[in-house]
Each structure stands twice: as structure tokens, then as C-alpha cells.
Amino acid sequence: MALLAVNDLTVIYPARAGAVPAVRGVDLTLEPGETLGLAGGSGCGKSTMAAAVLRLLPPGTRTSGTVLLEGEDVLTMRPGRLRAVRWTEAAVVFQGAMHALNPVRRVGDQIAEAIHLHDKVSDKRAATRVGELLEQVGLPARRASSYPHELSGGQRQRVMIAMALACSPRLLIADEPTTALDVMVQAQVLTLLEELRRELGLALLLITHDLSVLASTCERIAVMYAGRIVEEGPAAKVFEAPAHPYTRALAEAFPTIGDRASRRNPHGLGGDPPDPRDLPSGCPFHPRCPVSIAVCPTLEVELWPAGDGRRAACVHVRDGHPELVRQVPPHPVGEDAPAHPGPEGSGEPRGGAPVRRGMS
């Protein structure tokens, strides 16, 4: 049985200006001990996925589909059962460097709170456990008596990881665990997560916008865009040979260290993420897509097999030409190339002329 099985999950947030569908029919599975990376830009629904696993959604949110955690549907659990499941079966490593810790309580107390909530242990036992947890994440046990503001960003993130481990969950969800940390600390935190995962046999759902982080940490990657998974497959394949133009843009948005050309000429993606209330028709990525063709604005995309155990939601994959996604150079971000070459939503392909010729 899969540790986590998300089936056709839809999450719709309430809002005055109209309901916001943040996640629109996502399927995911995660086996015990497995690592899955979930990537995507701001507003693609990846953090909503993290919140949905423990049903940490704001009141009034509508959901459909199922989120099976060890076979039990989290979305329909009774509140008492839900609270018992939270942190014991799955725990979340929030972006601890910023505001995920209570600023006026000692970090040791905040970790002990989780222990006391789920285990009947004495204060002394809990304190010992807090010390062990802190040492496990590479902090001295005496740090338990510190307040969050007395710690550095990296130390706070370590505290957050120690807190997530407090009740020995089998699944760890790390939601942007390295955002707002400097690169050196990022690497340390990722190494720590990877070590802990291996030692404790945890399954890890790692959520970030940084595809290169996922490529080095995860076995599999799923890329989200506008509330849906647009590509999914083995990490190395997805990162090195994207089968979806959005994955490609995401992979190329980070300059390769040491590669002068990529640093001088970083590749970006024109346009803004779409408004989830008013998504473009057909493939929602088509207005920003460098390789879109005439059929894209009306095509209902789904995940098609793209070879090497991969699936991608792109017409070129359906047509059996995933290499077309990689052939056309995406637009460099710079003065010569305006970020908005055509009217938004016009579907005007950028640099896509050869493709169009080729396809029609």
C-alpha cells in the first residue's frame, strides 16, 4: 500500500472575487522511503498540495478527490482522528527560517509541545527527547532554551526539522525548506534532510521552485503548472531532458554554476503565471509557451507517456515528438527580447515559427 496516495485532488479556495481553484485534479503516489519532488512557480498549487495532505486548509475551502495517508482519507477524517494523524503519520517542515516558529516561546518548548500532544511522557523525558532531536539535526541540546530570534536562519530551519521528527512520522513534507537561506546553508539543510531520510527510512515530499535542488535530492519529480501536474518522471531525466516546455523553462531559469554563458545570458519565461480564476483555454501554458502550435488553445491536455517512465502534458509528447520541446531555444531575458512580445493570451508563439512550419 502506498504511504500517500492522492487521487484526483481538487482544492478550491473561497475568495470575494470568486472561488480560486488552486489544485485541479492531481494524482500522486508516494511509497514508504521514497522521495518525490514537487516543483513549480509561485501560485501553481504546490504548497496547497502540502497543506492538503494534513488538511491544513483555510475554512471554507472546497475539496474533492481523496488524500489517502496510510490508506485513510485525510479529507473526510473526523477532527479528533485528524489531530491524532497530524505529526504522527506525516509532519511538515515549513519554511522555518522565517515565521514558522512562535517568536515568543523557547524552541525547546515548541518541540516538546508536539511530543506531549501525542505521547504521554513526563516533562523530563520530553526534555531529553528534545535534546536528542536537536543533536540529531546538528544543533547542541542547550539550544532548546533559545528563542527563535536568537538563532540564525539555518539554525531555525534545523529546529523546524527537529520539530517535524518529534513524533517519528513516516512521511516528511518539506515545503520550501531552503527558501530564504543562503546557498551554503541550503546545501547543508538538504544534506541533513537526505541523511535523516536514509537513517530513519522516511518518505520525503520535497516542494520547491528550484528544480536543481530536486534533481539532486529526489528520485522522482512532478512539475506543476496552474494547479495541475504537467510533467512527471525520474528526476535525472526530467531535469536533463524536459518533455514539457514549462519544465524546460524552470530548469533553465537557474544558471549553471561555472558556466559563463548561462550566467551572462539567463533564460527566463515571459509573461506572468495565469490567474487561476481565469485560466487560458486549452493548454493553460500556451500563451507563454515558446513552442505552442495552432491546436494548443483548444486542446484538452492530459499526461501522455513520454518515454523513460515519464509522462508530460504537451501536444508534442502526444504526437510523439518530445524532442521538439527541447529544440527551440527559449527567449533570453534581456533588453533585445521584450518579456511580452505579443498581447497576453494571444497564443503568439515566440521563436516558435520554425516549429509551426514544421508541424503544419
Partner 1 sequence: MAATSTRTFRPSAGQRRLGAKLIGAALSLAFVLVFNFFLFRVLPGDPAKNLTRNRLVPAEQVEVLRESFGLGKPLPQQFAQYVRDTLSGDLGISYKFRRPVSEVIAERIWPTVLLLGLSTLLSTAIGLWIGIRGAWRRNSVFDRVSLGASLALYAMPEFWLGIMLLIAFGVGVGPLPGLFPTGGLSSPDTELASLAGVADVARHLFLPCLTLTLAYIAEYALVMRSSLLDELTEDYLTTARAKGLRDALVLRRHAVPNALLPTTTLIFLNLGFIVSGAITIETVYSWPGLGLLSYEALRTPDYPLLQGVFLLFSAAVIIANLIADLLYAYLDPRVRTG
Of 2, 19, 27, 147, which lies in the binding site for partner 1, with binding defined by CB under 8 A?
147
The cell numbers describing 244, all together, are: 514539457
Site string for partner 1, 150-189 (x = CB under 8 A): x---------x--x--------------------------
Structure-derived torsion over alpha carbons of residues 304, 324, 357, 268, reported in degrees to the nearest 10: 110
Going from the C-alpha of 46 to that of each of 8, 108, 206, 292, the distances in angstroms are 15, 30, 10, 24
Judge whether 165 and 196 are in contact, CB under 8 Å. Answer: yes
Site for partner 1 in 26-65 (CB under 8 A): 51, 54, 56
CB 22 to partner 1: min, Å:
16
**Residue 247: φ, ψ to 5°:** -60, -40
Tell me whether residue 150 or residue 302 sits nearer to partner 1 (CB atom): 150
Of 3, 34, 52, 94, which lies in the binding site for partner 1, with binding defined by CB under 8 A?
94
The cell numbers describing 321, all together, are: 515528438
Tell me whether residue 173 or residue 303 sits nearer to partner 1 (CB atom): 173
Tell me whether residue 27 or residue 109 sits nearer to partner 1 (CB atom): 109
Of 8, 14, 76, 102, which lies in the binding site for partner 1, with binding defined by CB under 8 A?
102
Give alpha helix (H) positions in the chain: 46-53, 79-85, 107-118, 123-136, 153-165, 183-200, 211-217, 235-240, 245-252, 260-264, 315-318, 323-327, 353-359
Determine the interface stretch with partner 1 among 18-26, 79-87, 223-231, 270-278 (rule: CB under 8 A).
79-87
Tell me whether residue 68 or residue 117 sits nearer to partner 1 (CB atom): 117
Beta-carbon contacts of residue 193 (< 8 Å; ≥ 6 apart): 93, 161, 172, 174, 177, 204, 206, 217
Of 9, 20, 91, 222, which lies in the binding site for partner 1, with binding defined by CB under 8 A?
91
Q: Could you give the CA distance from residue 352 to residue 47 in angstroms, rounded to a whole number?
A: 32
The cell numbers describing 240, all together, are: 536533463
CB 115 to partner 1: min, Å:
10
Of 20, 101, 192, 312, which lies in the binding site for partner 1, with binding defined by CB under 8 A?
101
Residue 149 as a binder of partner 1 (CB under 8 A): the answer is yes
Site for partner 1 in 103-132 (CB under 8 A): 103-105, 110, 113-114, 117-118
Residue 87 as a binder of partner 1 (CB under 8 A): the answer is yes
Of 98, 121, 295, 337, which lies in the binding site for partner 1, with binding defined by CB under 8 A?
98
Going from the C-alpha of 52 to that of each of 16, 306, 320, 347, the distances in angstroms are 22, 28, 34, 33
CB 61 to partner 1: min, Å:
13
CB 290 to partner 1: min, Å:
36
Q: At what angle do helices 107-118 and 123-136 cross, to 10 degrees?
A: 120
Half-sphere exposure of 309 (CA within 13 A, CB side): 10
Q: Three-class SS of residue 357?
A: helix
Give the interface with partner 1 as residue ranges (CB under 8 A). 51, 54, 56, 79, 83-88, 91-92, 94-95, 98-105, 110, 113-114, 117-118, 147, 149-150, 160, 163
